[in-house]
Amino acid sequence: MRRGKDSRRIAVQGTEYRWRATGDDGWISIGIWPSNNIGSYIWGTFRYHETWLDVGNGVCVSVGDQIVITNRVVRRVIEHALSQCEYDPYVKGTELCLGSLDQAIQWEDAVRASRNSN
């Protein structure tokens, strides 16, 4: 899906990209595409990496501190694609699936969501 609606911009190594992150069951999906719509669509996933709290009786709940995908993380995904996957945003293509990015991309310093205590 290469539409600009609800997507964000980022420039990496002189190329402008658009990106979108969406939450799914158990993971965060990331889609990135060059604004020129020539290069392949890049996609991959991250786990939420949230903290779980044991509330007893074998029940655990998330404390709502999952990682938030920001330009910093997306930049790392693009740099990974460029250096490790020989991605070229100026070569026509359809899709580059990076799969799970948890081990490939540094995410430990990612922004964390905070649960609103209302």
What type of residue is 45?
T
Q: In what order do the strands lie in the sheet with 15-24?
A: 8-12, 15-24, 27-34, 41-46, 95-100
CA distance 104 to 91: 23
Residue 116: which region, alpha, beta or left (left: phi > 0; alpha: psi -120 to 50)?
beta
Stated pTM of the model: 0.85
Q: What is the pLDDT of residues 16-31, one digit of tens each?
A: 999 999 987 789 999 9
Residue 61 is predicted with a pLDDT of 83
Q: Give mean pLDDT, residues 30-55.
A: 92
pLDDT at position 7 over 70 = yes
Containing 60, the helix (H) or strand (E) segment is strand 59-62
Reported as a single tens digit per residue, the pLDDT across 50-107 is: 888 889 999 988 777 889 999 999 999 999 999 999 999 999 988 999 999 999 999 9
Mean pLDDT on 8-14: 97
Q: What is the pLDDT of residue 99?
A: 96
